[in-house]
């Protein structure tokens, strides 16, 4: 055995201390003081030294969080003190009753204000962590409250669980010879989403909520799987304790914090039950914004001497209660299923529900994930379903209520073709997700929406790229006509939309419904139909109906309309999907006004003049400028020659500028151009 140099022993000790400190800063306090790279370097150095001198490895070394072999089964661990479950209070009255009961039991005056600790009730999995002389030796699940399962190696993978207790603050009490710390292991909403997406992609059933996901991840026989799921913990109390006496629950929380345990930062000390009720309401309002799921508030008597006096009944203590929030589940009816197309072409079925209130929010849609999920659930259109809002913004269908079936329910038919572009859907072997193989499908829909909404088309203010993407991602828009059916409430479901912004966009769309035929034709994005062509068609046909029924020959009789253009227009209006879409727009109130006269444009006549554009314009895109010139009778070309009358020079002009200068062609600044076309 090699002799270990004393400076190595010293260095290893120092490294462990440093790493544990940075762990604590990062995972417990959420305020790291070094970069990830610097942390990794410390960890690497420790690993290397431990590899060189394996005798130095101790169970509480930070390197020992991972790398355990899978277990055959979970060992049983009896809890030194039972882990009781709390009684629930569903409303204010029951909480007031809880407070009164305590005073009756203790013979205290009715108007006395008892001190309580209050903290969010994490929707996770209760565990117990046993520390002997400061070292984490065994960790277990709650089990039946008396005996749990040994999940020590899995718990070690959770970085916010200290492997060794330390006095992170100078006024922390000394580490006792034995202390059993209790906490709730949970999964953040974000990690829950990530994990579920991963499972869905693999064709596995997603977890119904973060609690199930946390429990499923912690109860893995193979700790390496647990390590991959980002679990976290909030510690909330102690079980068996030796060598230290706590006077209050608040003192317990504060001490745990000073020893390096993660305590919920929202925990609070309050006086009187009314304060606790106020706290409950405040936390319930914050519920959505928290990164983890909570289902209520835990109220505990602060004075631990009273705990003993109050004692327990059956399996729950008298000194604490869980004041629950409004339920996150409700039953409603499944009206229909729509299939939304994601940016990768993935098709996601979305349940359209009869609107139902869940926890103060109206739920109208729920995800059905994929075809396998629908089959496994055996859910049908018309079914009554149990719907849950948990962890994420998209509610889920937990199960159909088969007892309520009438026999009129219809099977959900998964589409064979893409709802956006009509391409036949494909599914890779081993995957659960059907995809549209048309790589252009999603992007082209976004482009169509943006073109439709653009200034010279339908001119819908506030409908930019981000909004277009969010609308498609949510399945709100699969076709341009869907835009006309969106309500203010729909926009409020988009990220970054509050009432006012949603209402503004809704109103912008309502205004856009009154437009001109020319604008509408241009907005449709028919191939070869630019602004000028749309204008021409509108002038000649004057009615959408007539244009829609026009033949290639009819169209080609118009000067300026060639075969290619005519065919493109006819093809577009012969397409059944396009006709349906236009009809839906008309049904939604699309109307055409008389052509708006642009007097300042009418006066300008650019016929016989040829333009070249170079560089970027500020007031319009280059295409818009070109369209404008054409509308006024001018010509636009791309190359500079002696035949060119004007070169319009924008910002950062290219080589055309040099050439125009050499040829002595008249050059216009953007301002001069605008003046010339009467737009200054």
- Contacts with Zn ion, residue ranges (CB under 5 A): 418, 420-421, 423, 436, 438, 441
Other C-beta atoms closer than 10 Å to the C-beta of 407 total 5
C-beta of residue 430 within 8 angstroms of C-beta of residue 203: yes
Q: Which helix (H) or strand (E) holds 581?
A: helix 576-587
Shortest distance, position 417 Cβ to Zn ion, whole Å: 8
In the bound state with Zn ion, the residue whose beta carbon lies nearer, of 423 and 610, is: 423
In the bound state with Zn ion, the residue whose beta carbon lies nearer, of 420 and 533, is: 420
Which phi and psi angles does 525 have, rounded to 5°? 70, 35
In the bound state with Zn ion, the residue whose beta carbon lies nearer, of 259 and 442, is: 442
* 448 belongs to the catalytic site: no
Please give the structure tokens belonging to residue 488.
């203010």
In the bound state with Zn ion, the residue whose beta carbon lies nearer, of 97 and 371, is: 371
Task: Report d(CA 330, CA 389) in Å as an integer.
Answer: 9
Per the listing, tokens 């073709």 go with 417
In the bound state with Zn ion, the residue whose beta carbon lies nearer, of 19 and 436, is: 436
- Please compute Rg for the chain using Cα positions: 34
Task: Report d(CA 216, CA 25) in Å as an integer.
Answer: 28
Task: Report d(CA 654, CA 645) in Å as an integer.
Answer: 18
Q: Residue 514 burial by CB count (10 A; 0-12/13-18/19+): exposed, middle or buried? A: exposed
Q: Which helix (H) or strand (E) holds 556?
A: helix 552-556
Shortest distance, position 154 Cβ to Zn ion, whole Å: 43
Shortest distance, position 380 Cβ to Zn ion, whole Å: 26
Catalytically annotated residue among 121, 258, 448, 656? 121
In the bound state with Zn ion, the residue whose beta carbon lies nearer, of 299 and 347, is: 347
In the bound state with Zn ion, the residue whose beta carbon lies nearer, of 342 and 615, is: 342
Q: Are strands 294-301 and 320-324 parallel, antiparallel or unpaired?
A: antiparallel
Q: Residue 184 burial by CB count (10 A; 0-12/13-18/19+): exposed, middle or buried? A: buried
User: Alpha helix (H) ranges present in 142-186?
Assistant: 152-156
Task: Report d(CA 107, CA 196) in Å as an integer.
Answer: 52
In the bound state with Zn ion, the residue whose beta carbon lies nearer, of 141 and 438, is: 438
Sheet of 178-187: strand order equals: 135-141, 125-132, 178-187, 231-242
Shortest distance, position 608 Cβ to Zn ion, whole Å: 46
Shortest distance, position 345 Cβ to Zn ion, whole Å: 6
Shortest distance, position 267 Cβ to Zn ion, whole Å: 50
In the bound state with Zn ion, the residue whose beta carbon lies nearer, of 130 and 418, is: 418
According to the 3-state scheme, what is the secondary structure of 516-551?
EHHHHHHHCCCCCCCHHHHHHHHHHHCCHHHHHHCC
Q: Indicate the DSSP class of residue 27.
A: I
For residue 142, give every residue at least 6 positions away whose Cβ sits within 8 Å of its Cβ, in sequence order, or none. Answer: 83, 125, 126, 127, 128, 148
According to the 3-state scheme, what is the secondary structure of 220-286?
CCCHHHHHHCCEEEEEEEEEEEECCCCCEHHHHHHHHHHCCCCECCCCEEEECHHHHHHHHHHHHHH
Shortest distance, position 131 Cβ to Zn ion, whole Å: 57
Other C-beta atoms closer than 10 Å to the C-beta of 392 total 16
Q: Which helix (H) or strand (E) holds 506?
A: helix 499-512
Task: Report d(CA 472, CA 348) in Å as an integer.
Answer: 12
Shortest distance, position 495 Cβ to Zn ion, whole Å: 24
In the bound state with Zn ion, the residue whose beta carbon lies nearer, of 418 and 565, is: 418
Shortest distance, position 66 Cβ to Zn ion, whole Å: 43
Shortest distance, position 478 Cβ to Zn ion, whole Å: 10
Shortest distance, position 425 Cβ to Zn ion, whole Å: 8
In the bound state with Zn ion, the residue whose beta carbon lies nearer, of 125 and 421, is: 421
Q: Residue 567 burial by CB count (10 A; 0-12/13-18/19+): exposed, middle or buried? A: middle
Dihedral angle of Cα 487, 443, 577, 569, to the nearest 10 degrees: 120
In the bound state with Zn ion, the residue whose beta carbon lies nearer, of 441 and 570, is: 441
Shortest distance, position 525 Cβ to Zn ion, whole Å: 16
Shortest distance, position 336 Cβ to Zn ion, whole Å: 20
Give the closest residue to 534 by CA, choosing from 515, 508, 510, 551.
515
C-beta of residue 358 within 8 angstroms of C-beta of residue 328: yes
C-beta of residue 280 within 8 angstroms of C-beta of residue 268: no
Q: Are strands 231-242 and 135-141 parallel, antiparallel or unpaired?
A: unpaired
In the bound state with Zn ion, the residue whose beta carbon lies nearer, of 355 and 437, is: 437
User: Alpha helix (H) ranges present in 117-222?
Assistant: 152-156, 189-201, 210-218
Task: Report d(CA 596, CA 615) in Å as an integer.
Answer: 31
- Give the residue numbers annotated as catalytic, written as ranges: 121
């Amino acid at each position: 055995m090699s002799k270990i140099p004393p400076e190595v022993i010293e260095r290893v000790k120092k490294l462990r201390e440093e790493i544990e400190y940075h762990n604590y800063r990062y995972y417990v306090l959420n305020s790291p003081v070094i970069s990830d790279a610097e942390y990794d370097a410390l960890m690497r150095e420790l690993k290397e030294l431990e590899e060189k001198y394996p005798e130095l490895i101790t169970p509480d070394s930070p390197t020992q969080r991972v790398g355990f072999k899978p277990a055959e089964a979970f060992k049983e661990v009896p809890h030194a003190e039972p882990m009781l479950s709390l009684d629930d209070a569903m409303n204010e009255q029951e909480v007031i009753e809880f407070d009164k009961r305590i005073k009756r039991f203790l013979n205290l005056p009715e108007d006395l204000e008892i001190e309580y600790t209050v903290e969010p009730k994490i929707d996770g999995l209760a565990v117990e962590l046993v520390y002997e002389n400061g070292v984490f030796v065994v960790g277990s699940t709650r089990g039946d409250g008396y005996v749990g399962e040994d999940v020590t190696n899995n718990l070690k993978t959770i970085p916010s669980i200290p492997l060794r207790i330390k006095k992170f603050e100078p006024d922390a009490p000394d580490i006792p010879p034995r202390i059993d710390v209790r906490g709730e292991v949970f999964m953040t909403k974000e990690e829950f989403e990530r994990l579920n997406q991963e499972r869905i992609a693999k064709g596995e059933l997603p977890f119904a909520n973060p609690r199930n996901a946390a429990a499923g991840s912690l109860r893995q026989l193979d700790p390496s799987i647990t390590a991959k799921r980002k679990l976290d913990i909030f510690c909330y109390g102690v079980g068996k304790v030796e060598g230290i006496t706590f006077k209050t629950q608040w003192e317990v929380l504060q001490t745990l914090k000073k020893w390096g345990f993660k305590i919920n930062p929202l925990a609070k000390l309050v006086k009187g039950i009314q304060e606790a009720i106020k706290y409950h309401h405040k936390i319930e309002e914050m519920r959505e914004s928290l990164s983890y799921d909570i289902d209520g508030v835990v109220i505990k008597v602060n004075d631990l001497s009273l705990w003993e006096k109050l004692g327990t009944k059956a399996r729950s203590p008298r000194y604490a209660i869980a004041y629950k929030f409004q339920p996150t589940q409700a039953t409603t009816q499944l009206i229909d299923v729509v299939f939304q197309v994601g940016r990768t072409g993935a098709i996601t079925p979305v349940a359209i529900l009869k609107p139902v209130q869940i926890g103060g929010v109206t739920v109208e849609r729920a995800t059905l994930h994929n075809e396998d999920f629908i089959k496994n659930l055996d859910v049908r259109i018309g079914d009554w379903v149990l719907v849950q809002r948990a962890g994420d913004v998209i509610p889920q269908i937990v199960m159909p209520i088969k007892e309520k079936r009438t026999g009129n329910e219809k099977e959900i038919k998964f589409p064979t073709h893409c709802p956006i572009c009509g391409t036949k859907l494909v599914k890779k072997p081993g995957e659960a997700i059907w995809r549209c193989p048309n790589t252009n499908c999603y992007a082209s829909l976004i482009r169509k929406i943006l073109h439709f909404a653009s200034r010279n088309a339908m001119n819908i203010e506030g409908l930019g790229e981000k909004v277009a993407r969010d609308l498609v991602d949510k399945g709100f828009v699969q076709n341009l006509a869907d835009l006309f059916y969106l309500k203010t409430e729909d926009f409020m479901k988009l990220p970054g939309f509050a009432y006012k912004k949603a209402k503004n966009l809704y109103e912008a769309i309502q205004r856009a419904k009154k437009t001109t035929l020319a604008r509408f034709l241009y907005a449709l994005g028919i191939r070869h139909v630019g602004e000028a062509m749309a204008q021409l068609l509108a002038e000649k046909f004057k009615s959408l109906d007539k244009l829609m029924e026009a033949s290639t020959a009819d169209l080609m009789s118009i000067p300026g309309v060639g075969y290619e253009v005519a065919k493109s227009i006819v093809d577009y209006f012969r397409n059944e999907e396009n006709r349906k879409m236009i009809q839906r727009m008309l049904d939604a109130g699309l109307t055409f006004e008389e052509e708006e006269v642009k007097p300042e444009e009418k006066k300008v006549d650019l016929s016989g003049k040829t333009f070249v554009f170079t560089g970027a314009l500020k007031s319009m895109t280059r295409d818009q400028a070109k369209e404008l010139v054409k509308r006024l009778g001018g010509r636009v070309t791309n190359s500079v020659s002696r035949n060119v009358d004007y070169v319009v020079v924008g910002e950062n002009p290219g080589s055309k500028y040099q050439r125009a200068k050499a040829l002595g062609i008249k050059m216009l600044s953007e301002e001069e151009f605008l003046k010339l076309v009467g737009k200054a």
